[in-house]
């Protein structure tokens, strides 16, 4: 069973550019969430998509956006890149979206490491 696939694994951009990152979830998983990981702030939640709808959003500026396609694949976009956007962007997929007190079983991809110069 293939895991969560993120592309590209590494990329370098310059300030002001934009970037699109892709995430292919585990087959059958309908929930995809995105996290940003930096040495200073750790792992921070960006947003979650379920059945092509954004269900939750973290505290990030509007430059960060995402979408999910009908096959559950997801993309996130960062526009007008800043130096502080340099980070490891992690995608996680889960089978369902829990609405109770339980927690989803998240499977993370290896991440896309973005460097902004």
Partner 1 sequence: TQLLEQSPQFLSIQEGENLTVYCNSSSVFSSLQWYRQEPGEGPVLLVTVVTGGEVKKLKRLTFQFGDARKDSSLHITAAQPGDTGLYLCAGGAAGTASKLTFGTGTRLQVTL
Residues that bind partner 1 (CB under 8 A): 4, 31, 33, 35, 42-45, 48, 55-56, 58, 90, 92, 94, 97-111
Q: Give the residues across from 19 on adjacent strands.
A: 78
Please name the residue that has the structure tokens 């750790």: 42
Residue 83 host element (H or E): none
CB of 80 to partner 1, least distance (A): 25
Residue 70 or 99 having the CB closest to partner 1: 99
CB of 48 to partner 1, least distance (A): 5
Cα Rg, the chain, nearest whole Å: 14
Residue 4 or 87 having the CB closest to partner 1: 4
Tokens encoding 78? 């960062």
């Amino acid at each position: 069973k293939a895991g969560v696939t993120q592309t590209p694994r590494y990329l370098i951009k310059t300030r002001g550019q934009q970037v699109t990152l892709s995430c292919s979830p585990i087959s059958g998983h309908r929930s995809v969430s995105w996290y940003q990981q930096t040495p200073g702030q750790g792992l921070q939640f960006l947003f979650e998509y379920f059945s092509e709808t954004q269900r939750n959003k973290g505290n990030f500026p509007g430059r960060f956006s995402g979408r999910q396609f009908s096959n559950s694949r997801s993309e996130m976009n960062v526009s007008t890149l800043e130096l502080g956007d340099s980070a490891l962007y992690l995608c996680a997929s889960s089978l369902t979206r829990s609405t109770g007190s339980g927690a989803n079983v998240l499977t993370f991809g290896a991440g896309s490491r973005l460097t902004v110069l």
